[in-house]
Amino acid sequence: MAARFYFHLVNGHHVIQDDLGALANDLADAHRAAAEVIEEFKSEQARHDRDWHDWELVVTDDSARFALILPLTRRGCRFFMR
């Protein structure tokens, strides 16, 4: 069954909260969606002069539990067990 995941942009000082979220079949599906969000975001922000190197995409589930953390500018991610 699909679950709703939320994709928040976070750095040490600010949070841009995703209030809508998106449905995903499982954590792997949410991870793929998060990677797509990051690529789209980087394409859109490439023409702006803002530094996003300290920002991460934090993926949470409906219970606001951390599921994934993906850096915006580096490869790799951190998974959290439920």
Q: What is the DSSP string of 5-72?
A: EEEEEE-SS-EE--SS-EEESSHHHHHHHHHHHHHHHHHHHTTS----TT-EEEEE-TT--EEEEEES
Confidence of residue 75 (pLDDT cuts 50, 70, 90): low
Number of alpha carbons in the 13 Å side-chain half-sphere of residue 69: 10
Instruction: Give whole-number Cα distances, 75 to 29, 38, 43, in Å.
Output: 18, 11, 16
**Percent of the residues in the chain that have a pLDDT greater than 70, as a whole number:** 82
The whole-model pTM stands at: 0.78
For the chain, what is the domain count?
1
Enclosing H/E stretch for 2 = none
**What CA–CA distance (Å, rounded) separates 34 from 67?**
11
The tens digit of pLDDT for each residue in 10-50 reads: 988 999 999 999 999 988 899 898 888 888 877 777 666 66
Domain membership of residue 16 as a residue range: 3-79
pLDDT at 78 over 80: no
**Per-residue confidence (pLDDT) for residue 80, from 0 to 100:** 47
